[in-house]
Structure 1
Amino acid sequence: MAGAVLLLLGLAVATSPRWLRPFVEAEASAALGRKVTIGQLAVSLSSPIRITLTQVRIAGTAEIADVPYLATIERLQLALDLDPLLHGRMLTIPEIAIAGMDVAAVQTRSGANNDSLVLPASSTGTHWPRPAIGVVRISDSHAHVLAPALGADIEIAISTDGGAEGTLIGDVAGTYQGQPINGRLTGGALLSLRDPANPYPVDIRLASGQSRISLVGTVSDPFHPQGADLKLELSGQDMASLYPLTGVASPPTPPFSLTSSVAYAGGLLHLANIAGRLGSSDLNGELSVDTRPARPVITGSVWSRRADLEDFIGLIGSQPGRMSTPDQTPAQQRAVAQAIANPRLIPNVPMDLSKIRSADFHIAYRGDSIVGRSVPFDTIATRLDIEDGHIRATDFRVGVGRGQALGQIDMTPVQDSMHTVADIKLQSLDVGRLLAATHLIHGSGVLGGEAQIDSTGKSLSDILVHGNGHLSLFMAGGNVSELIVDLSGLQIGNAALSALGFPDRAQIRCLVGDVVLTKGVLRTRTLMLDTTDHRTTVQGSVDLRTETIAAQLRTQAKHFTIGTLAAPIAITGTLKDPRFAPGAAELGARGAGALGLGLLFPPAALLPTIQLGIGEDNACVSLVREGAAHPGAPTATKPPPARPSAR
């Protein structure tokens, strides 16, 4: 082989380098699987010998005829050291210098591309033994990446630094999925690409809009990123803005930042040791992404030590965050302010099924502590499964004191809407914890019940407006602030004392609520609070289509009280801005006639749910049985017997 090389060089020098050019073109074409042409070839018999090629052209593909060349190189120079070859060792190339290289990597909307090469290891051409290469230097070179299907039009300025190994640098600018993108890619020496024993170092830092991403570490093969061992840092103003970059949809979020370790092998991307922040909440966990299916499959677990539910309400179509959420942009703060000022309470942002179908998810989430001045919840946990747009939230649990609300939500795509079925059970909820969120009314006891809905719609508002279902609430034992009872009965003297902090509590015998949802209208069948001294009843409706309230709240004393006025409280206004005033709301004959003392006994069918939610031995069970035995009969006004403790 050494003799053949020397013979070729001798012929080239003795006659003309043009005899060597066809040989080099043939070998390069066989190695790359593309036709390679050379404009001129020159040989300098210096030490080391230098071969200079100009106007090198690497052909494109027939599928993309309007891009004739994958790459052009204006000047390519190789330094050859023949001394090791003469002593029976390999050919040594101390330096390769590339100047004026332009690469055009194009992928059409149909998926055809011009940058798939047959690398030397798998080509069928005749090859010399792999030479030992010293350093590769690149100057004044560019790459243009064009992929209309991805919305990618990116220019990369390519160079190497002046170090001994020639670190590769790429400065990126352009657009991706309609978003501006810029940054810098830094890799190891080009020669380390061919050394599987030494992973290739990479340092990638990109910015797209207000999102920032960096990947620092090593990959075994940067052309097919197997064996990646990287550290990821990701930050931005809204996770939803990452959709053009990742292809995986997210609901709107407040500002976020996170770090994780990243490993990649066999099409599986694993993010471990995730730690970060979402608005005022922390995020931790690990995720795996299977990139092999048509839709990526994301599995894992995520948890928050402290979770602010306002950071997550983008899931239901609301504007996430608070005015106090850190690092918000002025636009985000204006959006939060507009959401606060919006007279509507229920979100009406339609779900985008195409984005929901962008990936499949199997995620377990838990929040160990829920923060927020007016939030009555303590913990939250659920498992979220999304498959081809079908959403299931199972093992859904919200902790309130020592009790919990638990259940499941199932949402199935139906054309461009979601058929939603939800079933929630309330078990021994801490009433004191619930009422503390009002910062006005106080109390204690346990609350049970259930809520169900069956509907089809495009948004949360749409689902409620078209929904049918019911809500049942039960409470036995405990106490509640006298203020709500006194004001609802217009007991002027006692109300004034209650507002000053005394008397402090009204002992509860039973609270029963039975509310039905029919085509978007909530109506009370029974809503009654029975204490040792009063019975408070509510009759009316809430029209979820307009979010308006039309209800009456009336308290009647079981014995004489000074300052009592026999008038109800009219509850009007909207869910966002309810109004309370003396007088009668327009409820119709049925509602007005039902407000008399003792006429609103709950139906006996509620007994099993009452017993499940708050226990069998309680005053509510006795009250329901009393109503079933004597329908329409008023309740005795004498004090009740001693009450066993609620379970």
Structure 2
Amino acid sequence: MPSDRSIGRTIGRIAIWTFACLALVVAVLVVFIAKFDWNRARPWIDDKASQALGRPFAINGDLRVAWQRPPGEQGGRAWVPWPRLTAYRITLGNPPWTHTAQFATFDAISFEIEALPLLAHRIVVPSIDLVNPSIDLERLADGRDNWTFTLPESTQPSRWTLRLSDLSFAKGQITLADAMKKVTLRIGVDTLGQPLAIGDVLKQQEASAHSAAAQVVGARGASQLAAQTASAASAASAAGAAPGAPARPHAPQSYALGWSARGTYRDTRVQGSGKIGSVLALRDASRPFPLAADVKIGDTRLALVGTLTDPAHLAALDLRVWFEGASLSHLYPILGITLPDTPPYATDGHLVGRLQTGGNVFTYSGFAGRVGGSDLSGTLTFEAREPRPFLHGDIVSNLLRFADLAPIIGADTNASKARRGVSVRQPLDRVLPVETFHTDRWRAIDTDVTFTGRRLLKDPRLPITDLNAHVVVKDGVLTFDPLRFGVAGGTLASQWRLDGSTVPLKARMTMTARHLKLKQLFPTEKTMQSALGEINGDAQLTALGNSPAALGATADGEVKALVTQGTVSRLLMEEAGLNVANVLYEKLFGEREVNIHCAAADFVATHGVLDARTFAFDTDDGVIVVNGHVDLRDESLDLTVHPKTKGLRIFSLRSPLYAKGTLKHPDVGVDKGALALRAGAMVGLGLLTPFAALVPLIAPSHNQPTPCEALITQMQTPPRAGA
């Protein structure tokens, strides 16, 4: 039997030869790998990649493999080299229906693979370096897109796992052609050189937004907007809330990449730039992913700085957002939100978005804004829901310029219309706006917004002080309930229902005027500053038409107003009666007040024509009766004013007055025919005796008062709207 020593020698020889053989195999393998022409493997790699991706894949240049010592490894692991693969001129094809042959091209792709994890079926790639990547994204009008890959289904889960730690590239380009959204963009992406903190980017964007706002609303408006924003931030801090964004569990990442874009959106020119975090940082749900953009679409500018939480699942947005543009209505084709036509505007606010399966919700909270010469602030929430999105919130203006409301109904000047891109021009001889309503936008979104104008800046002749409105849009029907103005110490409240779901638009309006003070109704008329009394009125109208002018031309209903128990300057009444002597007396020696028994106006509207059913003004000194009509179809006037004095008036040229012409250019004067008859009679009688010539100028007394009680009773009957 062999001894233990001989067995030991045998085992030793076997071990030596085995190790030698393994070393030889490794050496041969290393030499083979080092000397092997890996380009011979390209057809096999191209075929396997094409099958896996479902698209033609090709390495058109060299395929090289280099071995290098792993960085940062120690001990025995440091002696196991890592292969580094580099492939040149790679292409990934498009589906056959696209307009371009390639989905993506790369000048080169290079990456390392850790060797030892391969034994555990783990592919660990520390970094992938892309050289000049170019990606072409395309979507047709029928919904087909080239960025959705049809991958082969596997019956069993793969034993292999992949971990990628970093992705880097020097320059990249993305081309987008989306026929569904009508977007064409060419986007360039590059590294920033060094990471930028979100605070630094925010300061840069604040300065840029201030400069852009000055170009839109003027330097003074931009300074006022900055003051509003600072005031809102101070108020938020005092209330214990952060003025920018809510507290985050982890600090946001730094910006790593910059991008710029040019193209068109719905045939409108688009250009902009921005910054984002590292591409692979999108996988880290614990740290907010940074976003920044400054984009101009036509005459609208949108800028934002903030973060996206859990990018892989689009959990939430937290952004500081600025809007600037020629009119708020221009946001509709960009954001799909229906807003009114306005003068140039600029806003600054905080946008929070909850991206959820049931519908995304975005809240633009605590924003400050300038619209024309008016300030705005408030909160708006947009909910993406079916069948239409929903916009709701509250808006307040502490100082509202009345002229800034004109574009809402198309009542601004033609120069203003041109600035906000409206081609319809207002005829110079018409008062009612002819610009049509955008009823198609009413059917695109539901709205519930309250607006408060606490103080109005206006023409001194306008006795309006404040405004409150509740605007609701549902199923294409726009309602104002109420639309309330503070007027002359009283209120002018109305309810409007504009049904834009039909063509033409159907409108119903109810208006109530209460406690309007006579003195305040004419703040610039000296003769009315001693007037007392109040005006109360009601109106109900229906109409058809897609513009204010068309609605006026088809109006049906009734309008009623009543003045009771007041006083008015006698001078005003004497001027209306053309009582020459008394006017001269009042001018020289002062004014006196006369009592108003009643004043009543009762118009009936029929197909745009307002007929004066009752229009009378009765005081101690006289009665004025008006008859005729106002035709809103062509805005013409045909009214006759009959002044009737009470008591004896010497040197009275009392004669009927007329009001003709149009609302834009009224023609008011004396009925020359009646006045000529009086003059002729005076001359004829003057031939007999000089005293007799005064007889035609002596106004007979009309001491029978207008039946005020009957008028009041009639006026208390509510007006009726047309069918």
TM-score tier, shorter chain, comes to: 0.7 to 0.9
* Distance in 2 of aligned mates of 1:8 and 1:383: 81
* Distance in 2 of aligned mates of 1:459 and 1:8: 85
Q: Could you report, residue by residue, the CA deviation over 1:253-275 in whole angstroms, capped at 9, with x for unpaired residues?
A: 21101112111122111111121
5 Å matches for 1:38-437? 38-39=59-60, 40-47=62-69, 49-61=83-95, 64-80=97-113, 93-116=125-148, 126=158, 128-131=160-163, 133-134=165-166, 136-139=168-171, 141-163=172-194, 167-220=256-309, 225-265=314-354, 266=356, 267-319=360-412, 331-332=418-419, 342-373=428-459, 374-413=461-500, 415-436=502-523
Moved more, 9-18 or 545-554: 9-18
The answer to whether the 8 Å contact 2:476/2:501 transfers is no
1:301 positional shift: 1.6
Q: Which residue of 2 aligns with 1:17?
A: 38
The answer to whether the 8 Å contact 1:263/1:269 transfers is yes
1:173 positional shift: 0.6
The answer to whether the 8 Å contact 1:552/1:585 transfers is no
1:389 positional shift: 1.7
Q: Could you report, residue by residue, the CA deviation over 1:151-183 in whole angstroms, capped at 9, with x for unpaired residues?
A: 311111121222268822221111111111101
Are residues 535 and 66 of structure 1, via their aligned partners in 2, closer, same or farther at CA, if it must alter by over 3 Å?
same
Are residues 561 and 545 of structure 1, via their aligned partners in 2, closer, same or farther at CA, if it must alter by over 3 Å?
same
1:355 positional shift: 2.8
Q: Helix, strand or coil: the match of 1:149?
A: coil
* Distance in 2 of aligned mates of 1:107 and 1:333: 32
Are residues 396 and 352 of structure 1, via their aligned partners in 2, closer, same or farther at CA, if it must alter by over 3 Å?
closer
1:59 positional shift: 3.9
1:45 positional shift: 1.8
Q: Could you report, residue by residue, the CA deviation over 1:547-596 in whole angstroms, capped at 9, with x for unpaired residues?
A: 1111122332222344422212211221122222111799xxxxxxxx98
TM-score, structure 1 normalization: 0.80
**1:453 has 2:537 as partner:** no
Q: Could you report, residue by residue, the CA deviation over 1:49-95 in whole angstroms, capped at 9, with x for unpaired residues?
A: 53212233334346x44444332222122245668x59999876454
Letter in 2 for 1:70: F
The answer to whether the 8 Å contact 1:56/1:75 transfers is yes
The answer to whether the 8 Å contact 1:193/1:222 transfers is yes
1:452 positional shift: 0.9
Q: List alignment gaps of at least 5 residues for structure 1.
A: 1-6, 587-594, 614-647
Moved more, 509-518 or 346-355: 346-355
1:193 positional shift: 0.9
The answer to whether the 8 Å contact 1:75/1:100 transfers is yes
* Distance in 2 of aligned mates of 1:118 and 1:549: 73
* Distance in 1 of aligned mates of 2:447 and 2:488: 31
Q: Which residue of 2 aligns with 1:620?
A: none
**1:580 has 2:668 as partner:** yes
* Distance in 1 of aligned mates of 2:539 and 2:568: 23
Q: 1:511 is matched with which residue: 587, 599, 604?
A: 599
Kindly indicate which of the two structures has a greater share of residues assigned to helix: 2
Q: Which residue of 2 aligns with 1:502?
A: 590
The answer to whether the 8 Å contact 2:641/2:656 transfers is yes
1:478 positional shift: 3.0
TM-score, structure 2 normalization: 0.72
1:248 positional shift: 3.2
Identity fraction in percent: 24
Q: Helix, strand or coil: the match of 1:454?
A: strand
The answer to whether the 8 Å contact 1:41/1:53 transfers is yes
5 Å matches for 1:505-584? 505-583=593-671
* Distance in 1 of aligned mates of 2:155 and 2:104: 19
Q: Could you report, residue by residue, the CA deviation over 1:487-506 in whole angstroms, capped at 9, with x for unpaired residues?
A: 21112344356668931644
* Distance in 2 of aligned mates of 1:137 and 1:577: 70
Letter in 2 for 1:170: W
* Distance in 2 of aligned mates of 1:8 and 1:293: 64
From the CA coordinates, give the structure whose radius of gyration is larger. 2
* Distance in 2 of aligned mates of 1:65 and 1:173: 22
Aligned length: 588
Q: 2:573 is matched with which residue: 474, 485, 496?
A: 485
Q: Could you report, residue by residue, the CA deviation over 1:305-327 in whole angstroms, capped at 9, with x for unpaired residues?
A: 12223212223232269x9xxxx
Q: Helix, strand or coil: the match of 2:444?
A: coil
Q: Helix, strand or coil: the match of 1:426?
A: strand
Q: Which residue of 2 aligns with 1:641?
A: none
* Distance in 2 of aligned mates of 1:119 and 1:210: 43
Q: Helix, strand or coil: the match of 1:161?
A: strand
Letter in 2 for 1:434: L
Q: List alignment gaps of at least 5 residues for structure 2.
A: 1-27, 71-82, 196-253, 675-700
Q: Which residue of 2 aligns with 1:627?
A: none
Are residues 547 and 119 of structure 1, via their aligned partners in 2, closer, same or farther at CA, if it must alter by over 3 Å?
farther
Moved more, 244-253 or 514-523: 244-253
Are residues 414 and 87 of structure 1, via their aligned partners in 2, closer, same or farther at CA, if it must alter by over 3 Å?
closer
Q: CA RMSD in A?
A: 3.9
Q: Helix, strand or coil: the match of 2:321?
A: strand
Are residues 429 and 31 of structure 1, via their aligned partners in 2, closer, same or farther at CA, if it must alter by over 3 Å?
farther
Are residues 335 and 454 of structure 1, via their aligned partners in 2, closer, same or farther at CA, if it must alter by over 3 Å?
closer
The answer to whether the 8 Å contact 2:84/2:111 transfers is yes
The answer to whether the 8 Å contact 2:98/2:138 transfers is no
Moved more, 143-152 or 31-40: 31-40
Q: Could you report, residue by residue, the CA deviation over 1:593-632 in whole angstroms, capped at 9, with x for unpaired residues?
A: xx9885965794852854999xxxxxxxxxxxxxxxxxxx
Q: Could you report, residue by residue, the CA deviation over 1:217-249 in whole angstroms, capped at 9, with x for unpaired residues?
A: 001255764400011100011223333322334
Are residues 406 and 559 of structure 1, via their aligned partners in 2, closer, same or farther at CA, if it must alter by over 3 Å?
same
Q: Which residue of 2 aligns with 1:632?
A: none
Are residues 11 and 539 of structure 1, via their aligned partners in 2, closer, same or farther at CA, if it must alter by over 3 Å?
farther
The answer to whether the 8 Å contact 1:160/1:166 transfers is no
Q: Could you report, residue by residue, the CA deviation over 1:3-45 in whole angstroms, capped at 9, with x for unpaired residues?
A: xxxx999985464435876887688779877665443432222
1:381 positional shift: 1.4
* Distance in 2 of aligned mates of 1:127 and 1:31: 16
1:293 positional shift: 2.7
* Distance in 1 of aligned mates of 2:673 and 2:403: 34
Are residues 277 and 94 of structure 1, via their aligned partners in 2, closer, same or farther at CA, if it must alter by over 3 Å?
same
1:414 positional shift: 6.0
Q: Helix, strand or coil: the match of 1:433?
A: helix
